C-alpha cells in the first residue's frame, strides 16, 4: 500500500514510525514531515493545510490511503475533497470534525443525545459572559469555541481569573476567530484520562487508556499547553470503568453522529474527567492525541496499517489490537518560554545517543534542518518515549534519554506519570 501521512509533528512521527513497520507498506510519504519522520518516510514539501496541494499529490502518486494527523486540514474539508475523488481517508468529514473545531457544536450534540458532560452556557457577547460569571462565581472553566492549538481552555479558580480569561479570548482575541464565542462551564473535579477509539462510523475499537499532562510545570501548575507528556496504561481506568466509558460515551457519540448524517471514519478522542458520578466528557478531538499517540504506538504490538485501512473502508468489524502489557511514557521537551513566546533555530545535541538506548524512541515534534543540522522550530520540540516493565522503569528510561539531549532553553516536566506512581 502507498500511504500518505499528513502533518509534521510528534503525533505524525509516531504514526509514521508505526506504519513503517507494516509488511503491507509499499511506500510511505509524509507532508510536510520533519527531520525525524524523514528517517522512516519520504517527506514532501506540501503543508498540512494545503488541501488542494494534498489532493494533487495523492493523484500524482496514486496514494491508497491518506492518514490525517492534525485537526486543521480535517476542519478545512480535506477528507471531503479526497473522498469525492475516490481516495480512502482515515479522518472524519469537515462536518463531523466540528466535534473539535467547535466546542459549541460538541456541547450541543452531547446535550441532545444525553452524553455525560459538565453544565455549560454559551455566549457570543463578552459582557453577557462577564455577567454570568458574576452570578455563578468560581471555579469555572472558560473555553474558546474554535480551534486554539490546545490552549483555548482556561481553568479559573477565581472570578477575577474568569473575567481575565473572557477578556483575553473575546476582547483581546488571543485566539483570533476561535474566540467569537465562549463557553462557561462548571469545573468538574476528579482525574483526567484520555481514551481514543478507532471507528468506521459503525463499529468501535477502543485503544488502551492514556493520561496527558497539560500544564507546563510540575505538580500541574502554570498555564495549559498542547501537552507536556503522557503515559499508558492508566491504573485508574479498570476494565469495568473502560466498559462504562465505551457504553456511556463512545457508543452514544457514534450513534449521534450517524443520526446527524455525519461521516466519521477515523479516530475519536474523548478527554474525560472521572468524577464521583462517573466519566464526564471534557472535550472531543477528532484525531490522535499528542502526546498520547507516542506511548500508545510504542505499546501497540499489532500492525496499525490494516486497522486504519479497515476503518477508512467502513469494514472495521471485529478487528482487534494486541498490546504490549508493559507501560510506556512520553516526556515532552519544549522550547524555553513555551507556551508563550520562544526562540527558534536552537541546535539540538545528543539525538543519536538517546535514540540508541534500548526501549527508547525520540519522536520529533518541532524540529527542522538548518545547514544540515537539526534545530528547534516549535514550542514542543521532542517527545522522548520509553517502555519498561513498570511505570517507574519506563519513566527512568525516558528521563535518562532526555538528559542526553540538549538545546538552549530546553524545559520539560520532571513528574510525568506521577499519578500512576502515587
Residue boundaries of the structural domains of the chain: 2-93, 125-180, 191-312, 328-421
Is 191-312 CATH 3.30.470.20?
A: yes
Sign of the CA dihedral with 168 first, then 171, 172, and 176 last: positive
Superfamily in which the 125-180 domain is placed by CATH = ATP-grasp fold, A domain (3.30.1490.20)
CA–CA gap between residue 138 and residue 183 (Å, rounded): 14
Q: Are 241 and 233 in contact (CB under 8 A)?
A: no
**Domain 2-93 shares a fold with domain 125-180:** no
Q: Which of 140-144, 148-152, 261-265, 401-405 has the lowest mean pLDDT?
A: 148-152
Length of the chain: 422
The stretch 13-27 carries a mean pLDDT of: 98
CA–CA gap between residue 177 and residue 195 (Å, rounded): 28
CA–CA gap between residue 226 and residue 150 (Å, rounded): 5
pLDDT confidence of residue 11: 98
The stretch 138-148 carries a mean pLDDT of: 94
Class of domain 2-93: alpha beta
What is the overall mean pLDDT for the chain?
A: 96
Give the predicted TM-score (pTM) of the model.
Answer: 0.95
pLDDT confidence of residue 151: 79
Q: Can you name the CATH fold of 328-421?
A: 3.90.600
pLDDT confidence of residue 246: 96
Which candidate, 98, 74, 86, 90, places its Cα nearest to that of 5? 90
**Which 3 state secondary structure label does DSSP give 415?**
coil
Q: Per-residue pLDDT for 193 more than 80? A: yes
The stretch 69-73 carries a mean pLDDT of: 96
pLDDT confidence of residue 149: 78
- 391, with CB counted inside 10 A (0-12, 13-18, 19+), is buried
Amino acid at each position: 500500500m502507498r500511504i500518505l501521512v499528513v502533518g509534521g509533528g510528534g503525533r505524525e512521527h509516531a504514526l509514521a514510525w508505526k506504519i513503517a513497520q507494516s509488511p503491507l507498506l509499499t511506500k510511505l510519504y509524509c507532508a510536510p514531515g520533519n527531520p525525524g519522520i524523514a528517517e522512516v518516510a519520504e517527506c514532501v514539501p506540501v503543508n498540512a493545510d494545503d488541501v488542494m496541494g494534498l489532493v494533487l499529490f495523492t493523484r500524482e502518486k496514486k496514494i491508497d490511503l491518506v492518514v490525517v494527523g492534525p485537526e486543521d486540514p480535517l476542519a478545512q474539508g480535506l477528507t471531503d475533497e479526497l473522498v469525492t475523488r475516490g481516495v480512502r481517508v482515515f479522518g472524519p468529514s469537515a462536518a463531523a470534525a466540528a466535534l473539535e473545531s467547535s466546542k459549541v457544536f460538541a456541547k450541543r450534540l452531547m446535550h441532545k443525545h444525553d452524553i455525560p458532560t459538565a453544565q455549560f452556557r454559551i455566549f457570543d457577547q463578552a459582557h453577557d459572559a462577564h455577567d454570568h460569571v458574576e452570578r455563578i462565581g468560581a471555579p469555572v472553566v472558560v473555553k474558546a469555541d474554535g480551534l486554539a492549538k490546545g490552549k483555548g481552555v482556561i481553568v479559573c479558580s477565581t472570578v477575577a481569573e474568569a473575567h481575565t480569561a473572557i477578556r483575553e479570548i473575546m476582547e483581546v482575541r488571543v485566539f483570533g476567530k476561535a474566540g467569537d464565542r465562549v463557553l462557561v462551564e462548571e469545573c468538574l473535579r476528579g482525574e483526567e484520562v484520555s481514551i481514543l477509539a478507532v471507528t468506521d462510523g459503525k463499529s468501535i475499537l477502543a485503544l488502551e487508556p492514556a493520561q496527558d499532562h497539560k500544564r507546563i510545570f510540575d505538580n500541574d501548575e502554570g498555564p495549559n499547553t498542547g501537552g507536556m507528556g503522557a503515559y499508558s496504561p492508566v491504573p485508574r481506568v479498570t476494565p469495568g470503568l473502560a466498559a462504562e466509558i465505551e457504553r456511556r460515551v463512545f457508543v452514544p457519540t457514534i450513534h449521534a453522529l450517524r443520526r446527524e448524517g455525519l461521516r466519521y471514519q477515523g479516530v475519536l478522542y474523548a478527554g474525560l474527567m472521572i468524577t464521583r458520578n462517573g466519566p464526564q466528557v471534557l472535550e472531543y478531538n477528532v484525531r490522535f492525541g499528542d502526546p498520547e499517540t507516542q506511548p500508545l504506538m510504542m505499546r501497540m504490538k499489532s500492525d496499525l496499517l490494516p486497522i486504519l485501512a479497515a476503518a477508512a473502508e467502513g469494514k472495521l468489524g471485529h478487528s482487534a489490537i494486541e498490546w504490549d502489557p508493559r507501560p510506556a511514557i512520553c516526556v515532552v521537551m519544549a522550547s524555553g518560554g513555551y507556551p508563550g513566546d520562544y526562540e527558534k533555530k536552537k541546535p539540538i545535541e545528543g539525538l543519536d545517543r538517546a535514540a540508541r538506548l534500548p526501549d527508547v524512541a525520540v519522536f520529533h515534534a518541532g524540529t527542522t534542518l538548518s545547514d544540515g543540522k537539526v534545530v528547534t522550530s516549535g514550542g514542543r520540540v521532542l517527545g522522548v518515549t520509553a517502555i519498561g516493565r513498570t511505570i517507574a522503569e519506563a519513566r527512568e528510561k525516558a528521563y535518562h534519554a532526555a538528559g542526553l539531549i540538549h538545546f538552549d532553553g530546553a524545559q520539560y516536566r520532571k513528574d510525568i506519570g506521577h499519578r500512576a506512581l502515587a
